[in-house]
Amino acid sequence: MSMIITLIAVILGLGVAGSVIFFAIKSHLEKTKKISAMVSDKEVIEIARQNGGEISAVLLCEKTDLSLDEAQTKINSLLMSGIIHQKWDWSDWSGSKHRYVLKDATKNYNSIEGKKGKAITDADVISVAVQSKGKITPAALCLKLNISIDEAKKKLDELYKKEIFEIDVTETGTITYYLSDKDLLNT
């Protein structure tokens, strides 16, 4: 009998814990959505570009109306989506100096300035994919052509429907687009 009571207690405990986790995730997603409405990914990328490819929560606060907590949430969102990565400062072992860098920060960001305000062509997208050995993600296209994530995803989906790209989802859930015409990689 005590075993049944224990089992019921465990099930009820998991139910409460599951509810707590569900509401915590829901709250976080609502907060992230609100912050994204205040400051777009494209705006953060532009701020980072103006700062040599680096971004911090403090810099984001200075350049936007976000609080420090909101700026850190935005940076964490970009970190999780793969647009930025954390660069360790080995001179500071306390961990208090957090440096975040755009994934392609070593590239010359001025080379894509010409794309600002212009319509992105199919050739632009295919060219970026060829330079990336036939595969591209929306985040990478966003950075390379200086367009929004939504625009990058839309353009890649259009080309997928035209059978220019194939889609694969990695084990981590990243959607990757692969060029169908492998002969382009040999040119």
Gap between the Cα atoms of 114 and 111, Å rounded: 7
Q: Are residues 15 and 32 in the same domain?
A: yes
Tokens standing for residue 159: 């080309």
Give the tens place of pLDDT for each residue, 147-159.
888 888 899 999 9
In sequence order, the 6+-apart residues with CB closer than 8 A to the CB of 133 are 185
Domain total of the chain: 3
Q: Are residues 31 and 47 in the same domain?
A: no
Strand partners, 55: 100
Q: Which of 48, 72, 106 is the last residue of a domain?
A: 106
Q: What is the pTM of this model?
A: 0.46
In sequence order, the 6+-apart residues with CB closer than 8 A to the CB of 152 are 138, 139, 141, 142, 145
Domain that holds residue 140: 114-186
Q: Are residues 118 and 171 in the same domain?
A: yes
Q: Which residue has the tokens 């200086």?
A: 146
Q: Are residues 47 and 73 in the same domain?
A: yes
Give the tens place of pLDDT for each residue, 76-133.
888 877 888 877 655 555 545 567 888 764 443 433 333 445 678 888 899 888 888 8
Whichever domain contains 85, its CATH number is 1.10.10.10
